[in-house]
Amino acid sequence: MTVIEPERHAGTPSVLNVVMQEKSLGAAADLDHALELLAMAKAGRIGPTLRLYRPEPTVAFGQRDAKLQGFEAAAQACRRLGFEPLVRKAGGRAAAYHRGTLVVDHIEPAADAIAAVKTRFGLFGGLLAGALQSAGVDAAVGEIPGEYCPGEFSVHGVDPADSGHRIKLIGTAQRVVAGAWLFSSVIVVEDSGPIRNVLTESYAALGLDWDPATAGAANDLVPGVTVDAVEQAVIAAYAVHSRLEFG
């Protein structure tokens, strides 16, 4: 077991178990496994855990999306384009991801899990934006006009050739239960074309407005950036705040 000794900061776990999931369990099983880990944290069977993996092509719809008249047409469009349509437990609108993205699930037991919901959005948005910055991307936290699955704490990147052009790079969602919380982040690193295409068709079917120019990947802004590089940057960012154990 490898241990990274970090600088300690108040309010962060002293030890964080890191699970590097080498293979996807399947689109639905990957989402379900995050909830299984949340239940284990609630039951006291695991401590603070960080799970990183590359998902199969998936469009994760929000609960509100599934109630719209065009949902079935959107789901059919996803399947036609090679993406599995699923409805996630957390909030927000449809988000797409594939093997060119990195999913980061952070799970922790907590006596009062609801207390710091908004604080966590800001904390992890800043941490992940910093990770992208260390990988060479001009990243910042904040919603951009017209983005898909809009959120106050989305992480976006700035085009070095056009400072007025910003693209969403990370979407975050949170699931809170009595006794534990799950904070999930999707970082789009490579191959943005299929993601842009499936979101365009899905949002059209749902009747939702958005600007496709806001969908992109880190390597659209900094050519050569890879999922591996971003994964290492995320781990390094966490190591500043927590003692990481890989097992």
Give the pLDDT confidence of 84-141 residue by residue, as tens digits. Answer: 999 988 778 999 999 999 999 999 999 999 989 999 999 999 999 999 999 999 999 9
Which conformational region is residue 235 in: left (phi greater than 0), alpha (psi within -120 to 50 degrees), or beta? alpha
pLDDT band for 5, please (50, 70, 90 cuts): very low
- Residues 6 or more apart whose CB falls under 8 angstroms from that of 204 comprise none
pLDDT band for 172, please (50, 70, 90 cuts): very high
Q: Set out the domains of the chain in order of their start, with CATH numbers.
A: 27-246 (3.30.930.10)
Neighbouring-strand partners of residue 177: 180
In this predicted structure, what is the pLDDT of residue 10? 39
pLDDT band for 247, please (50, 70, 90 cuts): confident
Q: Is the pLDDT of residue 11 over 80?
A: no
Pairwise CA distance, residues 168 & 162, whole Å = 15
| Residue pLDDT, tens place only, 16-40 | 999 999 999 999 999 999 999 999 9
